[in-house]
Amino acid sequence: MTIRRTKIVATLGPASSNPEVIEQLILAGMDVARLNFSHGEADDHRERARLVRELSAKHGRFVAIMGDLQGPKIRIARFREGSVTLSAGQPFTLSNSHPPEEGDSSIVGIDYPSLVQDCKPGDELLLDDGRVVLVVDAVEEHAVHTTVTVGGPLSNNKGINRRGGGISAPSLTDKDKEDIKLAAELQMDYVAVSFPRYGSDIQQARKLVQEAGSKAWIVAKIERAEAVADDRALDAIIKVSDAVMVARGDLGVEVGDARLVGIQKRIIQHARTLNKLVITATQMMESMVSSPMPTRAEVSDVANAVLDYTDAVMLSAESASGNYPVQAVTAMARVCLGAEQEPTTTRSGHRLGETFNRCDETIALASMYAANHFPGVKAIISLTESGHTPLIMSRIRSGVPIYCYTRHPGTQRRAAMFRGVYTVPFDAAKIDPAAVSDHAIEKLTERGLLKKGDWVILTKGDFYSNSGGTNGMKILKVR
């Protein structure tokens, strides 16, 4: 049986809120359920989280839940008629004093007053994910006067980006701070922070998450030009995060679509080198909002991320509001499995020639080297408290499955995001130390994942209650 290594994040929404659909998503391969705080009420998220937990337990699956914070809303206000059509060459004004419901084809209000301080003549502003482009001619105290360079239809509440970045809105809003409390209440496994520009934005989010009593890991959504201005800026955000998301919508608008693929590859590489998780997101199978089959280009996009060794690929509108949410997860799973058949996905030169900083990191990387060079090894078992050791292991390209043996429900769910890692509930502290290895191997033989004569690598610490205490590796033969 071939086990899929790349994990799938699926956004839940109106199309995927009833128990039947959520159950089908879990059975089709959803590893992480994303709850988007930009939409829906708190009670909607409570019910979806409850259903995910209940239905994944029913099927013996471990599904993590990620709460995605909305972040600052940098948007135009509304039009008197609901929408307008702008033509190239015409003047158009963005005003923070214009009545919010009274926009027309010459002027519209904005809900972000600081835009006038963030802009200067010559800047390019991109509206509605770059579908409409404006060039700034002049800036006054309450208005930005522009000329349309790329026209088209424009409707209410569309987003505003500045080419090259430079929007100064704080990453965390008052709404985000309330949603962090909701994430803590629901014991979410991950909290995603929108529009961070600097590592300090992530540190502030982590402080708020911890103060709310949550142990959620922090996902930095890389979607600002400042965040990828150079390797130093990127690494500063990655290092203080637990995971990063290549959020290609706003990022593509700010850096330009021509640079996006190269930047995506750089983010994935840097995240893995720095021992962090990485999610590739946005429009991966967008056509499946209205079609039961993906396009060839979408298949290539997902496969390309898999070959770059992303931990997870993500569905947004496809599973949240599309007509074919279950088919989208099924298609994504199929493409991931197909791409993983390529030999390059199991060959690694990761960190060869580098020194390691921690004992558990050294054991983890040594285990993967052994697994990749000893053909008889069929499984790696990591006895872990926090999940850190299997996380480090999963940074290495390998075809050998890594099993995260842990007693902690939070770690059991969290590991659902790790590429090539699979959870096995296991409390080593309740077993005679001399019998722990045999019991661990039995768990996999009972499931038909190991047979007599197979080799197994097992890592553990001297004590089963210390996080970061992995200091031993054994190579065992199944008897």
Query: Average pLDDT by consecutive 10-residue portion of the chain (479 residues)?
Result: 92 97 98 95 97 98 97 91 96 96 96 90 94 96 96 93 88 95 98 94 97 98 94 97 96 93 97 96 97 98 97 97 98 98 79 73 91 94 94 94 97 98 95 94 96 96 68 93
Query: What phi and psi values does residue 423 have, to the nearest 5 degrees?
Result: -85, 140
What is the rounded distance in angstroms from the CA atom of residue 287 to the CA atom of residue 79?
Answer: 28
Residue 457 forms beta bridges with which residues? 380, 475
List the one residue out of 385, 376, 359 whose CA is nearest residue 466. 385
* Three-state secondary structure call for residue 414: helix
Element (H, E) at 84: strand 83-86
Output the pLDDT for position 468.
62
The pTM for the full model equals 0.93
Residue 460 parent element (H or E):
strand 455-461
Q: What is the pLDDT of residue 350?
A: 62
Instruction: Answer for the pair 371, 325: CB distance below 8 angstroms, yes or no.
Output: no
Taking each helix axis from N to C end, the angle separating 296-307 and 325-339, rounded to the nearest 10 degrees, works out to: 50
Q: At what angle do helices 296-307 and 257-273 cross, to 10 degrees?
A: 30
CA distance linking residue 169 with residue 81, whole number of Å: 29
First to last CA, the chain: 21
What is residue 76's three-state secondary structure? strand
Which residue, 303, 233, 309, 316, is CA-closest to 278? Answer: 309
| Residues catalogued as catalytic | 34, 75, 221, 282
The single residue listed with the structure tokens 């065992």 is 476
Residues in the chain: 479
